[in-house]
Amino acid sequence: MTKKGDMLYAWTNDAEIQKKAELGGAVTSLWKHALESKTVDAVLAITKGKDLYDAQPVLIKDPKDLAKTAGSLHCGTLLLPKLIKKYLDGAETMKIGVTVKGCDAMAFYELAKRKQINLDNIIMIGVNCGGSVSPVIARKMIAAKYDVDPDKVHKEEIDKGQFIIEYEGGHKGISVDELEEAGYGRRSNCRRCKMKVPRQADLACGNWGVIGPRAGKATFVEVCSEKGAKLLDGAVKSGVLATEAPNPKGLEIRGKVEGAMMKLGEKWRKHDFEGLGEGKDRLKTIMTETSRCIKCYSCISACPICYCIDCTTKNPAYVTPGDIPPNFMFHLIRFAHIADSCVNCGQCQELCPAEIPNAMFMHAQQVELEKMFGHVPGQNMELPLMAFVEEKTERARLHNTGSDMIYENVFNPLKGH
Amino acid sequence: MDLKYVPSTCPYCGTGCGINLVVKDGQVTGISPWHRNPVNEGKVCIRGNRSFEFVNNVERITTPLIKKDGKFVEASWEDAYKEIAGHLKSVKGDEIGCVASARTCNEDNYVFKNFAQNVVKTASIDYCGRGCNADAVRGLADAFGKGAMTNSITDISDAKAILVIGSNPLDENPLAGRRIIMARKNGAKVIVADARTSATAKIADLHIAINPGTEVAFLNGVAAAIIKAGKENKDFIAKKTKDFEKCKAAVAPCTPEAVAKICGIPEGIVTQAAEIFTASSPASVVTSAGAVSGDILRASANLVLLTGNVGVAGAGVNLLRAKSNAQGAMDMGCVPADNGHAVPAMIEAAAAGKITALYVMGENIASAGPKVAEALDKVGFIVVQDMFMTETAAKAHVFLPSASFTERDGTVTNSERRVQRVRKAVEPIGSSRADWQIICELATAMGADKGFAFKSADEIFEEIVKNVPDYAGITYAMLEKPEAIQWPAAGGVFGSAFLYADKFATKDGKGTFAAVGYTAGEAVSADYPFAVAAQWPRGTLSLNTASIVREFPEAKVTINKADAQKLGISTGNKVKVSGKDGSVTMTANVTTGIKTGVVSLPLAAAAVKLEKTEGA
Ligand SMILES: Cc1cc2nc3c(=O)[nH]c(=O)nc-3n(C[C@H](O)[C@H](O)[C@H](O)COP(=O)(O)OP(=O)(O)OC[C@H]3O[C@@H](n4cnc5c(N)ncnc54)[C@H](O)[C@@H]3O)c2cc1C
Ligand code: SF4
Ligand code: SF4
Ligand code: SF4
Ligand code: SF4
């Protein structure tokens, strides 16, 4: 019987999964068992769309369809939890298994805190994540830095600090540092990310620490919850998954790599946040950059912290409808509502047509708020700062001031008087 | 519960952004980013973001309608076809006008053109409610050989100098506007000539508030200043172009002093613009179709020929199109034959009783103003294919319900000549049908025995590539790649990100300068004291999308604060706007972001008068 805290090497016994899988196919086998045992009704995972740069979410119900979700797509920059909130009833009506990167896992918790997702109905298998690359940038990078036609590439991976491609006629690796120096490489939020092993998932899987004969053929699994332990035991029992104790040296290496990645994340934070300046200078940078906003609402629709039906940015008293660019209040509203809980998933930046480094701004503020109030978003169900406002008391206080905008717009107390 | 992503192309503007339709249990319930599309990399503007809303709008008409005693009555497709066939058969071809659509697919427009040509036998077919698109395209074709944008939306970000004129991309074609932002981040200098401090003007290095209608004078002024400074690209002009002398003579009167006066700008600024435009290359002009487009496009073409800015990435004349398939509708040949009428002429002919039947597919021509609506009342028989009861549809005798872009297959061609797929993600709502299918069935009902026996959009596309040379060799299979294909595709060489690397597509292979003189348009007068900076009207899709209506609930007239004060107008007041063609009432938007003496509104008028009608 495995239990929370256990570590092991795992790989599949299923020939088809093995062919397509990244590192032994543990993740896909676990999902196979989850579906077959009806532990979950469906699995939400990532599959290739038009090609290996085109990551697409798929909802799988038939275990036979799982093989197409095996393999890691490093150009998959999607955030799955918000899709579950938007399109799958917040997992209220079905049990869903989801493969999660660190940012996905964090987003799940933040959405759950806001009662937008029912975590009881979610099983998360986490994958360690060194970062993801936006697909069009990846293609440009492959053409420019590797001198390879991106259409000829049939596999990409990130290993030992290199972005490696396999293509018709060879393979080539270039260090991620060098690529990022040249303006390519991982998304800017990924560079700052320190959620390398998503331990808030039920299982955390990755290649770090797999050494010896199993290297490249098995995945290192850290059991992070009783749910995870049960799933793993079940998969072994059903015969789809094989496991063994990890090489102790591997364990050590895994710890070291994780530590090194955290340091790298810290380095990037320093680099990015110092670039923003401080105090008034920072404000000025933010105001200048956001002044290009075309009000597409993408940052809001993609953000895992945003969920309000009546978004305050749509209150005409604050932001005049139709004004492009909108006033700074549009952005202030987002800062005020989100900064304490931003999980640095990068969606608001990657999707911004005005090329505003939104995630960088929000993340910078989150880090400051964390220093001040100690709240760490995305790790557990601990409530954010804003939740500590006692709503009734606050409403009463606002009401006594006579004219409070929030109050008026939400409850219209003067209506009918 | 079922969830699926279907990649498609945004149905709104000519930027042609890729989107993923989110299909849940057989219904399109949202849009998700399609990061892999090279045009927009997953990013969209508000329209793309909400482009699923109109699909499920309860206002959609999904049954054929026949007007009886002034009222629409639901009908079967067979009866609707019979009704149309009966009427159209009794009308002579030259009395029939056909309006194709800049927002339906190439396949629809292709069969529609054949329908006009071979079934109702009219030369009067056009695809745009106003004359500007055709003018603009002709301007480009005459200068360079092909009636399309010379470069790519994506390569605008490689430009080192950009002149934006007659266009506000950040608002109108936002994901093309993004490329200007990117260029600027890469060190480009951006000049915006616009009477309004538009969203694009706000990111410019140099904003020049020229009077509306004086674009040609300004462009000629910049050309003259470049020639005067001896900064023209003599080698390029000698080797690759002709008629430079004609252009030189024509721009000569546009001295900085003259231009300053015409455009209402400070004197030194034209020279400054010329300096920026020639300081580094590549340099490009970004514009869109509007009034006097033909001249603006020729004057822009002169400027890039003069400086050798054609045939390289990041240069050229970049015509951004308002609607998703404006380029494709033209490529399919939905333009009047020599003896046919364009839409404005059709309207005049209708008013004069010379056009007695109209067939309109997916365009709302009546929105152009009261004059058009009046002319339509005189037309004996009108057929409209649409999703919604537009002003034009309301005047129809037979209404045929079209399937939305999520309910059918097809292709659309964006501004940069990229032929992209539209994919069927769900079944057509109600009994609506794909536009091409409607046309084919009707043609068959009218006795056409060949040319309309298509079973799928794919089959039509196979015909298109045989008949439209620039599309030769393209197949649906090739379009599966997210890059799709930018025509010309002839000769098996695909993916022309920019045209004319070697030579121009004109008969003699030379880029052709033109003598485009500035002629003053309708001047402001004591009767109509305000010049109009035209605004794009919100179209049928926007008007049926709640999220967009929330942002833009009504047409507004934007006026400078100083002018407004004199007239006692404040923001929110109702204002009567009168021009030569009549008057309308709009809400005022008072700002400092527009030149004094200029107002901005979505109407085709050159000069207007404003009167406050109500409001404190
Ligand atoms: C973007 C990314 C970066 C990674 N970086 C590291 C790293 O630095 N160090 C490390 O030890 N491990 C990393 N991994 C994890 C590693 O690549 C393997 O996924 C893991 O070892 C499991 O292997 P497997 O053979 O059991 O998985 P498989 O059985 O092949 O299953 C892989 C699962 O990942 C899902 N998936 C694929 N792409 C994505 C995506 N973009 N986003 C979300 N889910 C996805 C698939 O749908 C599938 O469920 C990364 C994974 C991803 C997706
Ligand atoms: S934010 Fe972190 S977890 Fe998410 S993709 Fe980037 S590196 Fe991976
Ligand atoms: S994504 Fe960018 S442009 Fe769109 S609303 Fe947000 S900040 Fe503005
Ligand atoms: S603010 Fe941006 S980076 Fe932060 S959680 Fe929201 S979308 Fe992600
Ligand atoms: S820029 Fe144009 S094509 Fe792109 S999302 Fe907006 S409206 Fe659609």
CATH for B608: 2.40.40.20
Closest CA to ligand 4's atom 7: A303
Shared-domain flag, residues B107 and B8? no
Q: Residue B217 has which token pair?
A: 């004078």
Shared-domain flag, residues B181 and B310? yes
CATH number at residue B15: 2.20.25.90
Kindly state the percentage of chain A with pLDDT values over 90. 86
Does the CB of A294 have a partner CB in chain B at under 8 Å?
Answer: yes
| pLDDT above 70 for B166 | yes
- Minimal CA–CA distance to B534: which of B312, B290, B191? B290
Shared-domain flag, residues B174 and B49? no
Please tell me if the CB atom of residue A227 comes closer than 6 angstroms to any atom of ligand 2: no
pLDDT in tens, B440-480: 999 999 999 889 999 999 999 999 999 999 999 899 999 99
| Domain-located, residue B45 | yes
Give pLDDT, residue B290: 76
pTM over 0.90: yes
Q: What ligand has the least distance to the C-alpha of A110?
A: 4
| Domain-located, residue B546 | yes
pLDDT in tens, B521-530: 777 888 999 9
Shared-domain flag, residues B115 and B176? no
Closest CA to ligand 3's atom 4: A296
Q: Can you tell me whether residue B241 is helix, strand or coil?
A: strand
Which ligand 3 atom is nearest residue A351's CA?
1
Which ligand 1 atom is nearest residue A220's CA?
21
With CB atoms and an 8 Å threshold, state whether B1 touches A292.
Answer: no
Please tell me if the CB atom of residue A193 comes closer than 6 angstroms to any atom of ligand 2: yes
Res. A342 pLDDT band, cuts 50 70 90: very high
Res. A299 pLDDT band, cuts 50 70 90: very high
Residue B372 Cα to ligand 4 midpoint, Å, equals: 49
| Domain-located, residue B498 | no
The total number of residues shown for chain B amounts to 616
Look up the domain containing B598 and give its range: 530-614
Res. A408 pLDDT band, cuts 50 70 90: low
| pLDDT above 80 for B131 | no
Residue A225 Cα to ligand 1 midpoint, Å, equals: 19
Res. B415 pLDDT band, cuts 50 70 90: very high
Bridge-based pairing of strands B607-614 and B556-560 is unpaired
Rounded-to-10 torsion of CA A318, A320, A325, A329: 0
| pLDDT above 60 for A407 | no
Does the CB of A50 have a partner CB in chain B at under 8 Å?
Answer: yes
Give pLDDT, residue B13: 95
Question: Which one is predicted more confidently, B290 or A266?
Answer: A266
Res. B368 pLDDT band, cuts 50 70 90: confident
Q: What CA–CA distance (Å, rounded) separates A200 from B606?
A: 64
Q: What is the CA radius of gyration of chain A?
A: 23
Question: Which one is predicted more confidently, B29 or B367?
Answer: B29
Does the CB of A149 have a partner CB in chain B at under 8 Å?
Answer: no
With CB atoms and an 8 Å threshold, state whether B49 touches A88.
Answer: no
pLDDT in tens, B208-231: 999 999 999 999 999 999 999 999
pLDDT in tens, A203-215: 999 999 999 999 9
Res. B484 pLDDT band, cuts 50 70 90: very high
With CB atoms and an 8 Å threshold, state whether B551 touches A322.
Answer: yes
Shared-domain flag, residues B203 and B250? yes
Res. A159 pLDDT band, cuts 50 70 90: confident
Question: Which one is predicted more confidently, B129 or B80?
Answer: B80
| pLDDT above 50 for B350 | yes
How many CA atoms lie within 13 Å of A330's alpha carbon, on the beta-carbon side? 26
- Minimal CA–CA distance to B413: which of B544, B514, B502, B319? B319
| pLDDT above 60 for A415 | no
User: A133-185: which CATH number, 3.10.450.750, 3.40.47.10, 3.30.830.10, 1.20.1050.140?
Assistant: 3.10.450.750
- From chain B, the residues in CB contact with A295 under 8 A are 46, 551
Give pLDDT, residue B492: 47
On whether the CB atoms of residues B511 and B579 are closer than 8 A, the answer is no
| pLDDT above 80 for A404 | no
Per the structure, the count of domains in chain B is 4
| Domain-located, residue B343 | yes
| Ligand 1 pocket test, candidate residues A72, A78, A100, A258, most atoms within 8 A of CB | A72
Strand partners, A157: A164
- Minimal CA–CA distance to B321: which of B537, B16, B550, B533? B16
Residue A293 Cα to ligand 4 midpoint, Å, equals: 16
- From chain A, the residues in CB contact with B2 under 8 A are 59
HEC string of B285-334 equals EEEECCCCHHHHHHHHHHHHHHCCCCCCCCCEEEEECCCCCHHHHHHCCC
Give pLDDT, residue A409: 46
- Specify the amino acid at residue A134: S
- From chain A, the residues in CB contact with B175 under 8 A are 353
| Domain-located, residue B604 | yes
Give pLDDT, residue B404: 98
Give pLDDT, residue A22: 84
Q: Tell me what ipTM this predicted complex has.
A: 0.95
Shared-domain flag, residues B117 and B149? no
Which domain-ending residue is among B451, B470, B489?
B470
Q: What CA–CA distance (Å, rounded) separates B215 from B199?
A: 19
| pLDDT above 80 for A61 | yes
| pLDDT above 90 for A398 | no
Give the list of residues 6+ apart from residue A246 with CB closer than 8 angstroms, or none.
A7, A8, A9, A209, A210, A220
Which domain-ending residue is among B298, B320, B342?
B320
Please tell me if the CB atom of residue A352 comes closer than 6 angstroms to any atom of ligand 3: yes
Does the CB of A42 have a partner CB in chain B at under 8 Å?
Answer: yes
Shared-domain flag, residues B46 and B96? no
Shared-domain flag, residues B81 and B19? no
Helices and strands per DSSP (H, E), number in chain A? 16, 11
Question: Which one is predicted more confidently, A238 or B293?
Answer: A238
Does the CB of A311 have a partner CB in chain B at under 8 Å?
Answer: no
| pLDDT above 50 for B66 | yes
Which ligand 3 atom is nearest residue A300's CA?
6
Give pLDDT, residue B605: 83
The dihedral of CA B340, B395, B113, B499: what is its sign? positive
Q: What CA–CA distance (Å, rounded) separates A369 from A358?
A: 17
With CB atoms and an 8 Å threshold, state whether B1 touches A88.
Answer: yes
With CB atoms and an 8 Å threshold, state whether A321 touches B550.
Answer: yes
Which ligand 2 atom is nearest residue A186's CA?
6
Buried b (16+ CB within 10 A) or exposed e, B123-145: bbbbbbbbbbbbbbbbbbbbbbb
Average pLDDT, rounded, for chain B: 94
Residue B44 Cα to ligand 5 midpoint, Å, equals: 6
Shared-domain flag, residues B568 and B429? no
Give pLDDT, residue B490: 58
Give pLDDT, residue B496: 82
| pLDDT above 80 for B165 | yes
| Domain-located, residue B204 | yes
Shared-domain flag, residues B213 and B251? yes
Shared-domain flag, residues B238 and B316? yes
Residue A308 Cα to ligand 4 midpoint, Å, equals: 15
With CB atoms and an 8 Å threshold, state whether A353 touches B178.
Answer: yes
Give pLDDT, residue A77: 97
Shared-domain flag, residues B71 and B98? yes
pLDDT in tens, B305-330: 999 999 999 999 999 999 999 999 99
Which ligand 4 atom is nearest residue A110's CA?
5
For residue A95, give the chain B residue with the closest CA: B1
Count the neighbouring beta carbons within 10 Å of the beta carbon of residue A372.
9
Res. B130 pLDDT band, cuts 50 70 90: low
Choose the closest CB to A351 out of B43, B170, B552. Answer: B43
Domain boundaries, chain A: 7-130+193-266, 133-185, 276-383
| pLDDT above 50 for A177 | yes
| Domain-located, residue B476 | no
CATH number at residue B77: 3.40.50.740
